[in-house]
């Protein structure tokens, strides 16, 4: 009988930020040899190594191989996004009659938490016991007023790698004043392998009958539009390529796929972990499923990758060389009364989960 390999988690120094803060890397390996690397800067997943249908391993997550690159020019590769993933219109919102001013960092709007979001913070990290696999606990205390958001916010993110090749992310938070919150992970995937070119042939399913159309600055209009008859209909799996080059006005305005899908859930506020999306890469046979408790998912096809970044394996990243499936509350939810709430109040516990399940076909 062959002894079953043990899952492990190993901590090692990764570098020092320009501000002089030490950053560590954790390497989690499961019993099958699947490997996930996470750094304490931004809680960034720098690599996810999974087998293809022949058993060959490759890294399917876009990223860099130095802390300097992550600090200097990261387009949100692999990071934890907060306090508010996606956009808030005109960098402002009103809660309980009080108006808050945020940092505009994309035209008039705020994107992904502002100038120094959770993706640029160094998180406290420790291995944490888990029945489900090896687990890394990241913790960050965001002070009242940080980037304009109210409330002292205590945030914990746990990454768990299971022996069934699933990477689970549990987000938890509590606040001492009413605030808004929308946490996600911004990994870019290429199931053929990072640096292997465009993801046009990937076959995508998203379980969503509707999506949230946007205006010229990518802020939702408030409408929940049907996907039927549009490039956004992924209810029956189809290749990403044709829609990514479509002349549909919503594709044109976003330069490709960059839309929030309204996941088919019985209740947008329930906390059931449900299958949201499935991606299959026919060449190597890797499959990734995304399960989440969240009501929305942003499908972004790397439209802003413009050949100015060199990735971990030494290849230039061009447009559509990776895709993101960012589980989330809907964009601009704090200003959209018709959207599921993104408000967190003292005494409440923010708790969401997203699981990336890897397999082959
Ligand atoms: C999200 C947004 C995109 C883009 C990327 C980061 O996916 O929706 O428009 O800003 O983040 O480059």
If you write DSSP's letter for every residue of 87-130 in order, what string do you get?
EEGGGEEEETTEEEE----BTTBEETTSTT-GGGSBPEEEEE--
Q: Report how far residue 169's alpha carbon sits from residue 192's, in angstroms, rounded to the nearest whole number.
A: 23
CATH class of the region 8-360: mainly beta
Q: Report how far residue 19's alpha carbon sits from residue 16's, in angstroms, rounded to the nearest whole number.
A: 8
Ligand 1 atom nearest to 324, measured from its CA = 7
Residues with a catalytic annotation lie at 186, 326
Average pLDDT, the chain: 97
* pLDDT range class, residue 3, cuts 50, 70, 90: low
Listing from the earlier edge strand, what are the strands of the sheet with 208-211? 225-226, 208-211, 258-263, 296-300, 324-328
Does 76 sit in the ligand 1 pocket, CB within 6 Å? yes
Residue 61: predicted pLDDT: 99
Does 185 sit in the ligand 1 pocket, CB within 6 Å? no
The domain ranges of the chain are 8-360
* pLDDT range class, residue 270, cuts 50, 70, 90: confident
* pLDDT range class, residue 1, cuts 50, 70, 90: very low
Helices (H), 132-260: 241-244, 249-254
pTM passes above 0.85? yes
Does 300 sit in the ligand 1 pocket, CB within 6 Å? yes
pLDDT of 149 strictly over 90: yes
Residue 114: predicted pLDDT: 98
* pLDDT range class, residue 5, cuts 50, 70, 90: confident
Q: 349 is written with which tokens?
A: 């516990």
Tell me: the pLDDT tens digits for 119-129?
A: 999 999 999 99
CB atoms within 10 A of CB 56: 10
Cis before 135 (ω within 30): no
């Amino acid at each position: 009988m062959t002894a079953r390999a043990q899952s492990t988690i190993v901590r090692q120094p990764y570098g020092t930020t320009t501000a002089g803060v030490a950053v560590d890397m954790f390497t989690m390996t499961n019993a099958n040899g699947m490997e996930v690397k996470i750094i304490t800067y931004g809680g960034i997943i720098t690599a996810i190594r999974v087998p293809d249908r022949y058993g060959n391993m490759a890294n399917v997550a876009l990223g860099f191989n130095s802390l300097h690159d992550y600090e200097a020019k990261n387009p949100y590769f692999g990071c934890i996004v907060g306090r508010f993933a996606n956009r808030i219109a005109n960098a402002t919102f009103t809660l309980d009659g009080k108006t808050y001013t945020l940092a505009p960092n994309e035209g008039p709007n705020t994107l992904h938490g502002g100038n120094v979001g959770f993706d640029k913070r160094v998180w406290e990290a420790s291995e944490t016991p888990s029945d489900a696999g090896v687990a890394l606990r990241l913790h960050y205390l965001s002070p009242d007023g940080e980037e304009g958001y109210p409330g002292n916010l205590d945030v914990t993110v746990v990454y768990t790698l299971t022996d069934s090749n699933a990477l689970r992310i549990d987000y938890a938070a509590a606040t001492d004043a009413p605030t808004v919150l929308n946490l996600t992970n911004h990994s870019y995937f290429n199931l053929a392998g990072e640096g292997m070119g465009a993801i046009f042939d990937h076959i995508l399913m998203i379980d969503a009958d509707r999506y949230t159309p946007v205006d010229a600055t990518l802020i939702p209009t408030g409408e929940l539009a049907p996907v039927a008859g549009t490039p956004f209909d992924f209810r029956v799996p189809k290749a990403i390529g044709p829609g990514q080059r479509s002349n549909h006005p919503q594709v044109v305005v976003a330069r490709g796929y960059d839309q929030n899908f309204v996941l088919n859930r019985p209740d947008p506020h329930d906390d059931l972990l449900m299958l949201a999306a499935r991606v299959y890469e026919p060449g190597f046979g890797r499959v990734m499923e995304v399960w989440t408790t969240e009501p929305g998912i942003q499908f972004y096809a790397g439209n802003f990758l413009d050949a100015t970044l060199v990735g971990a394996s030494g290849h230039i990243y061009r447009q559509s060389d990776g895709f993101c499936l960012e589980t989330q509350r809907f964009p601009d939810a704090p200003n959209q009364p018709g959207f599921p709430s993104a408000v967190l109040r003292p005494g409440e516990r923010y708790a969401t989960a997203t699981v990336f399940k890897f397999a082959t076909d």
